[in-house]
Structure 1
Amino acid sequence: MQPDVQVSRKSRFSVVVRGIALTLAMTLGAATPAFAQYPDKPVTLIVPYPPGGGTDVIARIVQDKLRAQLGQPIIIENRGGAAGVIGTELAAKAQPDGYTVLFTLSSHTINPAIYKKLRFNTEKDFDPVSMVASLPQILVAHPSLPANNVKELIAMAKAKPDSLSYASVGNGSPGHIAGEMFKLKTGTQMTHVPYKGGGPAVSDVLGNQVPLLWVSIPAAAQFVKQGKLKALAVSTVKRSALFPDVPTVQESGIADFEVDSWYAMFVPANTPKPVVERLQKAIAEVVKQPDIKEKLLAQGAEAVGSDSAGLGAVVKRELPKWAKLVNDAKITTE
């Protein structure tokens, strides 16, 4: 009888093992296709700025090629206001499923120093996906402004303190930071006029309601080329390939001046890693295509692909950098 008991025990054990294996296989089988099929519906890019600004322009340049890579429509949803805060908060609260993606500007790392009561955490509430493009801020003026270069602008500002004002796409935007850094390093006084995006800001400078503007090159490029705005300087350490005759601020005599704007994609925190990787690989394929590089270059931007870790490192590095500048320049949202 003993051998039969042993056989019975072995049989029961085999049944249990097979049951566990089957359950595990079913579980994995249910999970894997969900990731493998992503995306199976349209993906929304939240652009936290109005249409016509630099962020919107760059997002629309990559829109069609990203659609081709993902095999689903890419819907751009403009949610402007408060230098990107309104749209960013909306993205932070979205479902972490990869169907809501934040396409934003480098104000993402500036806003935490400007706005003390943000209802989201820049690092904890977002997972980085990829850098997309990088470009300078450009200082442009209405053609009627007497100053034709940075030195003349400084002289003009010092001769009549607080007589000049400059526009930006909003408090905490790279243009705002560039303008305040300019004031801090030159000892000049100018009034900051924040807008809800590049489109409205450019429009008012074109109408000479505000004489100066710090903005991402895509928002102002066509008007500079048409002579409707004059370019005085760019904010990076290297000149813009689109405007090689426009000097940098450093070349104009202001040491250690650099504000490098970037555009990047983020998703709500806890988005499944395979989904993040799918998005990252898709945008990496997009930005290396020659026609996309050409279109970005036509806007004064350089195509930049990165992995999630690389973008995360940029965020971690810039948060304290801009916090110090905001403190030193005593920048407020008032």
Structure 2
Amino acid sequence: MTSCFAALRRRHLLALAGAGWLGAGPARAQAPRPIRLVVPFTPGGSTDILARALAPKLAAALGVNVLVDNKPGAGGSLGASEVAKAAADGNTLLMGHIGTLAVNPAIYPKLGYDPLTSFVPVAYVARVPNVLVVKADAPWKSLKDLVAAARARPGSLTYSSGGNGSAAHIGFEALKLRTQVFMTHIPYRGTAPSVTDVLAGQVDCTFTGSPAVIGHIRSGRLRALAVSSAQRLPSLPDVPTVAESGHAGFEADQWYGLVAPAGTPAALVARLNAEVNKALALPDVAQQLAVEGAVPAPGTPQAFAALIRKEIPRWAEVARAANVKPD
């Protein structure tokens, strides 16, 4: 029994030693290994935008480079699987979100990781409402207009997403189920191209995270019809919620947070959680997230774990009802 305890303690200490940033600060003479922050999607989407907002703040606080590494594929599953198999030493993190941690278990039969056992939650970062947008010169001025057009011509209107099973896809399917309309899904390989084709008029609309579209809304190139949150976004005060638009109780926000490989020592998780919460409280970070339409969500690892557990069955129900399948 003593030898077993000693072995566990040795592994714990080795893990702490491997994460040379523990206890590090800006004045550290010798730089430890960089932290790799994996974004399991292409650049330009909400996950990428939030990771790049957070990375420099963590780097400054921990005295170590934080490198954002885009690893897209299979609805975020490829990047998430890679992190699940990484060493539990605090040097590899995943910017997880609703898709990778709650939706994917329902649509990928061989996922390669279990969101509840393959990771340890580190920090809830932000809540990001989806925004339903159309091209600025589209004929629809409201969600009611779009629903009426879709009902008049079932299947003729199209919506884009960052891929089959993506957060934008599952969010729109929830909206379709609530409004009882049929629209044709056009999946892309990433959020950025899915928005680009709405701008070009190749697709009628999309319902995706606010950071990916809010700049185009402000520039007048996209028209926002509704937001998925329970309350209006402070950054888009004139845009009604889906609930206000005749569908009471509807809410389908995306959410984002850091997770680490299972077995990452509690001391590392606690330090990372503290630094993420501090970063989210910084005025420039709060302002940056507000500009993007994201809502900071500081909290404990336990609170983030509870959110993940709650969301998995909810989105499994939507995926089953909509018969969502991977590529």
CA distance, structure 2, for counterparts of residue 248 and residue 205 of structure 1: 21
Name the structure 1 match of 2:3.
Answer: none
Contact 1:46 1:79 in 2 (8 A): yes
Aligned partner of 2:236 in structure 1 is 243
CA separation in 2, counterparts of 1:249 and 1:261?
Answer: 15
* Counterpart position of 2:248: 255
Q: What residue identity is the alignment partner of 2:38?
A: I
Q: Tell me by how many angstroms 1:186 deviates.
A: 1.4
Contact 1:114/1:171 (<8 A) preserved: no
| TM-superposition CA deviations, 1:21-55 (whole Å, max 9, x none) | xx99x979966972884352110000011111111
Larger displacement relative to structure 2 (100-109 or 169-178): 169-178
Query: 1:141 and 1:27 mapped to 2: Cα distance?
Result: 57
The letter for the 2-side match of 1:151 is K
* Compared CA separation, residues 100 and 116, structure 1 to 2 (3 A): same
Query: SS in structure 1 opposite 2:129?
Result: strand
Q: CA deviation at 1:256?
A: 2.4
- Residues 1:106 and 2:98 are matched in the alignment: yes
Name the CA shift for 1:29/1:172 in 2 (closer, same or farther; >3 Å): closer
One-letter code of the match for 1:301?
A
Change in Cα spacing, 1:33 to 1:296, as seen in structure 2 (3 Å) is closer
CA distance in 1, matches of 2:118, 2:10: 28
Structure-2 separation of matches of 1:222 and 1:296:
13
What is the CA-CA distance between 1:177 and the residue it aligns to?
A: 1.8
Counterpart Cα distance in 1 of 2:13 and 2:264:
18
1:293 equivalent in alignment to 2:276 = no
Structure-2 residue corresponding to 1:162: 155
Q: Does 1:86 align with 2:39?
A: no
Asked whether the equivalents of residues 38 and 275 of structure 1 are also in contact (C-alpha less than 8 Å), the reply is no
> Which among 5, 30, 33 is matched to residue 41 of structure 1?
33
Deviation at 1:144, TM superposition (A): 3.4
CA gap of 1:328–1:27, structure 2 versus 1, over 3 A, is: closer
* Residue identity in the other structure for 1:231: A
SS of 2:184's equivalent?
strand
1:330 equivalent to 2:323? Answer: yes
Unaligned runs of 5+ in 2: 1-5, 23-31
User: Runs of 5+ in structure 1 lacking a partner?
Assistant: 1-22
Inter-CA distance 190–34: structure 2 relative to 1 (3 Å threshold): same
Q: 1:184-204 CA distances to partner (integer Å, 9 max, x unpaired)?
A: 111110111222222111112
Which of residues 160, 169, 178 in structure 2 aligns to 1:176?
169
**Bigger radius of gyration:** 1
Aligned pair partner of 2:215 in 209, 222, 231: 222
Q: CA separation of 1:243/1:269 partners in 2, compared to 1, >3 Å: closer, same or farther?
A: same
- Per the alignment, in what secondary structure is the counterpart of residue 218 of structure 1? helix
The match for 2:179 is 186
2:258 aligned counterpart, secondary structure: strand
Q: SS where residue 296 of structure 1 aligns?
A: helix
Q: Aligned partner of 1:90: which letter?
A: E
Cα distance change on mapping 1:209 and 1:32 into 2, 3 Å: closer
Inter-partner Cα distance in structure 1 for 2:88 and 2:11: 20
The answer as to whether partners of 1:61 and 1:292 remain within 8 angstroms in 2 is yes
**Contact between 1:168 and 1:175, CA under 8 Å: does it hold in 2?**
yes
Tell me how far apart the structure 2 counterparts of residues 236 and 312 of structure 1 sit (CA, whole Å): 21
Question: CA separation in 2, counterparts of 1:106 and 1:251?
Answer: 24
Contact in 2 for aligned 1:236/1:248 (Cα 8 Å): yes
Instruction: Note if contact 2:45-2:212 (Cα within 8 Å) is conserved in structure 1.
Output: yes
Amino acid at match of 2:305: G
Q: Which runs of at least 4 in structure 1 moved beyond 4 Å after TM superposition?
A: 26-33
Percent identity over paired residues: 39
Equivalent position of 1:56 in the other structure: 48
Q: TM-score, normalised by structure 1?
A: 0.88
